[in-house]
Chains A and B, each alone.
Chain A
Amino acid sequence: MHTLPASDLALQHILRSGLAVVNDEPIDQARRTDVLHALVEIFSDAQRGSQALAAQNFLMSANESPAFERFALFFRYLNRTCGNDLPQRIAEATQVLSAIEEEHELAPDAKSRVADLFQHLLSAIARESALSPLVSPRELRLSF
């Protein structure tokens, strides 16, 4: 699946709005609903991918490509900061986001850990964008 930078910008906006949601900051109600729905979908897919990998289901990509692609994306962005805790952090975030969507009460600590994860994701996206090289010059020549 091609990922284009515009998708990253949309993801950044979703994460920023998600931060407002988990930090109980004011946000337009319709946007809150849409963003939460998207976040639950994204994190649930990533969690399924992470569980399949833990179970050594190497056929996951063939059977559940969205789950694999989402987990691979999270792994790319968060492996450096979360390391082996990544599956646990994804599972925790999925649970918290689903609970918020269903308007259940949550401990502030649970929300702040999700906010922390969002911040890590935003930093990683910004870092990757800043480190992207310019398009390389193309050369055609005979090589011997």
Chain B
Amino acid sequence: MSANLQACSFLIGRLRKEVVRLRAIAFPGHDTGPRKWLNFISGLLDTASSYLTSAQVPSIPDSEVARLIKEAEHLGENVYQLLTYVAGADSTQIPHQVVAPFQRWVSGLGITNTVFFRAEHLPNYELSRVDMRHAALLAGASHSLVDATNSIVWPALRVSVPGHAMGLLPHFAVVGHELGHAIQDRINPDLMPFNQQIMEAVNRAKDRLELEAIPFGHEQSLRVVAILGAWVNELKADAVAHHLVGPGFFFALCGFLELAGQGYGIAPTHPPTDMRRRLLFELLNQGSPSFASVFSDKTQLVLTEEMNSPNVSRCFGADLMYAELKQSLGSVDAAVCIELVPAVEAFAPKIFQAALSELQTNSADLIYTPDQFATDLDLHLESLCHLVPPIEYRDGGKATACGLSTILNVGWAALLTRVDRFPAPKGIGPTEQVAARMECLHELLLKAAELSEARQLWEEQ
């Protein structure tokens, strides 16, 4: 047996042991996403093993042996990467109480893809898509790989949330945005009336680049498509989260952006942060009653755009921003990003409306309204200050479990306006007292998520 075949066999064996170890771990929630993923990985390992077995057949030419071993090595390396995909999906990393309520959002939004949630030690919320449906067409794919590939609904979706210190429950409202990405293809606003504005933006970008003698060809057009697509999808996801969680999402997104860098946010992947915040704030002020008016009525605090994100940077004029941005993004991406801003802001309301229509058609039960917000604050805000978590409410004599959006919104209202009314822990200084009270609120909200889910399960039986 050649040395590289031996080394590869050893790698595959070690990876199998790792899969066995992961199979013994409890993954929270009702979903089987991580298990399906581990089955897929096992299938790849079985395929790699079959390549190594074939490579040992004496009649096979040397070139074929080399190819088989190389491809087995390739699969082994891939499996090593794919294992990181489930890292943090176990209960030690992600608060187990939130996974089942998140899964209710998943099913309520009609997301049929294979999904799993995981936490990582990064200030990042992310929906990662992996599409490996063609893995079953690897030559000599094992039966286990074919079965596992077919049992996953591709693209597989992994929702990442920050772990540990940054994993404060109210911030998890941002998961609504990530799940919005999962249904973004179902939201189809008619943006053709804005085509002229888009073309004008592209022409302005061309003009900027022409001054630097940079031609505008296929490659640059692809950048426009990629950036515009990413920005539209970000706004679709913001819209879904807004309609799902209301002010809870505004507070969570802005609070997270304040903690995670406070930058302009403008990049090929995201429109400017101040524009997103402005658009969401406008939504909170629409209608009668509006979310903003309810918040002010119930908390006696006026909701402002910068309430929990005073340090997020606002973009300045296009020329200055371009000069700054091209240092980090390069001229093409910087020119496209800068010039797209006005066009995207102009059609954003269409996106929000299309998202609402989609939810009204397919997920009406999940839409969070100002009336519900008012009821939630009436029923739970004071009680929460007396350490009673928002688990259930009386609805005509019948107790009904609180939804996750209720818990998040009551949590945010308490966090922003009532933390000083939580009982003061003894024996610690004034600075630590605020943190201790917030920790107490976090624990109460986790308890609410866990017990309301238990209540809901009980009602469903």
Q: Give the B-binding residues of A (Cβ under 8 A).
A: 1-2, 4-7, 9-11, 13-14, 16-17, 31, 34-35, 38, 53, 56, 58-63, 65, 68, 71-72, 75, 79
Contacts and interface: CB of A to CB of B under 8 A. Distances in A.
Contact of A13 (B130, B139, B226): B139
B399 interface: no
Contacts of B137: 10, 13-14, 17, 31, 34-35, 38
Contacts, number: 100
A62 B74 CA distance: 33
Given A1-B155, A72-B226, 14 more contacts: A2-B128, A2-B131, A4-B132, A6-B135, A7-B134, A7-B135, A10-B138, A11-B134, A13-B137, A13-B139, A58-B199, A59-B198, A59-B225, A61-B232
Contacts of A35: 137
Nearest to A49: B225
With most chain A CB atoms within 10 A of its CB, the pick from B78, B128, B155, B229 is: B229
Contacts of B229: 59-62, 65, 68
B interface SS class: helix
Contact of A61 (B44, B75, B155, B228): B228
Interface residues of B, number: 38
B405 interface: no
29 contacts: A4-B81, A4-B82, A4-B132, A6-B74, A7-B135, A9-B74, A9-B75, A10-B137, A11-B134, A13-B139, A14-B134, A16-B139, A34-B137, A35-B137, A53-B221, A53-B225, A56-B199, A56-B202, A56-B221, A58-B202, A58-B228, A59-B191, A61-B225, A61-B226, A61-B228, A62-B229, A65-B185, A68-B226, A68-B229
A59 B228 contact: yes
B66 to A, nearest CB: 14
B134 A5 contact: no
Contact of B139 (A1, A17, A58): A17
Interface centre among A7, A11, A59, A75 (most CB of B within 10 A): A59
B74 A5 contact: yes
Contacts of B132: 4, 6-7, 10
A75 B232 CA distance: 23
B225 A6 contact: no
Which of A4, A58, A68 neighbours the largest number of chain B CB atoms within 10 Å of its CB?
A: A58
A38 to B, nearest CB: 6
Nearest to B236: A62
Interface of B: 44, 71, 74-75, 77-78, 81-82, 128-132, 134-135, 137-139, 155, 185, 188, 191, 195, 198-199, 202, 218-219, 221-222, 224-226, 228-230, 232-233
Contacts of A68: 225-226, 229
A77 B204 CA distance: 29
Contacts of A31: 137
A122 B128 CA distance: 27
Contacts of B44: 6
A88 to B, nearest CB: 13
Contacts of A10: 132, 134-135, 137-138
Given A10-B135, A10-B138, A62-B232, A79 B130 contact: no
A5 B70 CA distance: 13
Most chain A Cβ neighbours within 10 Å, of B128, B139, B185, B228: B139
Contacts of B222: 53, 71-72, 75
Nearest to A83: B218
Contacts of A38: 134, 137
Nearest to A84: B218
A8 to B, nearest CB: 9
Contacts of B131: 1-2, 7
A56 B230 CA distance: 17
A11 to B, nearest CB: 7
A1 B195 CA distance: 26
Contacts of B218: 53, 75, 79
Nearest to A60: B225
Contacts of B230: 61
Nearest to B227: A61
A63 B129 contact: no
A5 B221 contact: no
Contacts of B155: 1
Nearest to A61: B229
What 9 A-B pairs have minimum CB-CB distances, sorted nearest first? Answer: A61-B229, A62-B232, A6-B78, A10-B134, A62-B229, A13-B139, A61-B225, A58-B224, A1-B129
B75 A6 contact: yes
